[in-house]
Amino acid sequence: MAESSRKFMVIFDRDGVLNVDHGYDFEPEKLEWIPGARAAVVRVNAAGGVAVIATNQSGIGRGYYAEADMEAFHAEMLRQLGAAGGRMDGVYFCPFHEDAAEARYRFADHPDRKPNPGMLVRALADFGVAAGDAVMIGDKPSDMEAARRAGVRGVFYRGGDLEALVASELARLTNRAAPT
């Protein structure tokens, strides 16, 4: 099976797709992976794809935790992912919310806050990937709407075998004919 030389990207929502969503997750010691999530990212890496996270983090804006707390959580995710042989090529987050406790995070309808496509559009531009060569895997309607607005295929994750879902999407992304 010949693999396309075109760049492709898998954009993962974080809470509920990669890690179990306990609500405003930020404590590294409480990180609990969705079964198969690390293997799914390793599969993207092995196929030569770009793997990124795009996550709303209104807990920062609401004052539940600081950006440094979220960064520590992400550092632990990346450490554990690396131990499993995988990597994330980028992590995009949006701390903004219209009801933010801190004025610097108070922003109604921020362009990065899903369902807006800002994080996805930025990830595509940062890695030089065409929207048609990307997929967003999310567990909320706002993830699917952000994907639609970015021109990216949205795949709703309802639980189950994330690695199999990613394998199916990788087959779709890598087996398409290159443009002439």
Q: Does residue 176 fall inside a structural domain?
A: no
CA–CA distances in Å: residue 143 to residues 8, 18, 19, 76, 95: 19, 14, 16, 24, 16
pTM for the complete prediction?
A: 0.93
Q: Does residue 179 fall inside a structural domain?
A: no
Residue of 15, 25, 112, 133 marked catalytic: 15
> For 123-137, how does the pLDDT look when each residue is reduced to its tens digit (9 = 90+)?
999 999 999 999 999
Burial of 128: CB neighbours in 10 Å, binned 0-12, 13-18, 19+: exposed
Q: How many domains does the chain have?
A: 1
Percentage of the chain lying above the pLDDT 70 cut? 94
Taking residues 19-28, report their average pLDDT.
96
Q: Does residue 40 fall inside a structural domain?
A: yes
Q: Does residue 112 fall inside a structural domain?
A: yes
Give dist(CA 5, CA 1) in Å, integer.
Answer: 13
> For 136-178, how does the pLDDT look when each residue is reduced to its tens digit (9 = 90+)?
999 999 999 999 999 999 999 999 999 999 999 999 998 864 4
Q: Does residue 31 fall inside a structural domain?
A: yes
Range of the domain at 109: 15-131+143-152
| Residue 92: CATH number of its domain | 3.40.50.1000
Q: Does residue 137 fall inside a structural domain?
A: no
Give dist(CA 153, CA 45) in Å, integer.
Answer: 19
Give dist(CA 65, CA 100) in Å, integer.
Answer: 12
Q: Does residue 160 fall inside a structural domain?
A: no
- What pLDDT does 175 receive? 84
Taking residues 77-103, report their average pLDDT.
96
| CB-based contacts of 79, cutoff 8 Å, min separation 6 | none
- Both tokens of 125, joined, read 């531009």
Among candidates 135, 127, 146, which has minimal Cα distance to 168?
135
Among candidates 125, 104, 124, 105, which has minimal Cα distance to 56?
105
Q: Does residue 34 fall inside a structural domain?
A: yes
User: Which single residue is written with the structure tokens 């794809």?
Assistant: 49
Asked if 117 contacts 146 with a C-beta cutoff of 8 angstroms, the reply is yes
Whether 1 shows a pLDDT value over 50: the answer reads no
Q: Is 39 helix (H, G, I), strand (E, B) or coil?
A: helix
Please indicate whether residue 13 is annotated as part of the active site.
yes
Whether 4 shows a pLDDT value over 60: the answer reads no
Asked if 114 contacts 143 with a C-beta cutoff of 8 angstroms, the reply is yes
Percentage of the chain lying above the pLDDT 90 cut? 92
Whether 111 shows a pLDDT value over 70: the answer reads yes
